[in-house]
Chain A
Amino acid sequence: MASSFKIRKIAELLDARVVCGEQFVDNEINYAFASDLMSDVLTLESEQLVLITGLTNMQTVRTAEMADINCVVFVRGKKVTPEMIEVADENNTVLIECQYSMFRTIGVLFESGVNPIY
């Protein structure tokens, strides 16, 4: 059985800020995947996935939209833009800004029992 986590819990574990999609923080996440390569993310088939990335641009939010990813964590204090929030809001995507590095973010989630896809 895969363990699942509420998005709210993910944000808490990472001491991170939910910048949009507040109303969906009680939705569940089953897996995490980390990448800055959107063409790689677009090959994933898993559902209820949190994407952890350092790539802060429209492509990240569009990729989440097309791949049905409902939560994206931006690491290392990267700032989400108003245009990104607009598209994310339209698609009910939760965007989270996290100060931790990619390595630490992944480490914390993995240690807490969030499942990898592979």
Chain B
Amino acid sequence: MEFSYEVEGGNFAKAGNAASGVKKVLKQLNVDPKIIKRIVVALYEGEVNVVAHAYKGNVLVDIDTNRIYIKIVDEGPGIPDIDLAMQVGYSTASAMVREMGFGAGMGLPNMKRNADIIDITSKVGEGTVVELTTKLTS
């Protein structure tokens, strides 16, 4: 099963559409709620990062019987130092983002904790690709 969702930079009202859609599908597939939570929390953080830090993006979701693969691609400023960005507390979020309840520098580390495999590639001035893979059974 494949799905894709658009993500608009700056549009906080719509952040979570992809995660919400994926949650409904995984529920229908009777995936363990604990595993669903890990998957959708990571995806939601990823969506919020596109909204908060990039101009626009796309979420591609591929589900098979054993695993879910999620690819979040954005056009944006990119991440100059990924190891630094992965550290808890590191954030370049604007005041507007902080008013929305984000910008603590916790998103990427939380995504790493919740996904089985996380892969991040980024080109400064072009954009970022975050890939998340998680098994659907424990």
Contact = CB atoms under 8 A, between A and B. Distances in A.
B12 interface: yes
B53 interface: no
Interface in A39-83: 39-40, 42-43, 55, 57-60, 62-63, 65-68, 83
B44 A66 contact: yes
Secondary structure class of chain B's binding surface, majority of residues? helix
Interface residues of B, number: 24
A38 B102 contact: yes
Contacts of A63: 44, 101
A89 interface: no
Contacts of B92: none
Secondary structure class of chain A's binding surface, majority of residues? helix
A51 B94 CA distance: 25
A36 B113 CA distance: 22
Contacts of A87: 20
Interface of A: 36-40, 42-43, 55, 57-60, 62-63, 65-68, 83, 87
Interface of B: 12-13, 15-16, 19-20, 23, 33, 37, 40-41, 44-45, 48, 100-107, 110, 113
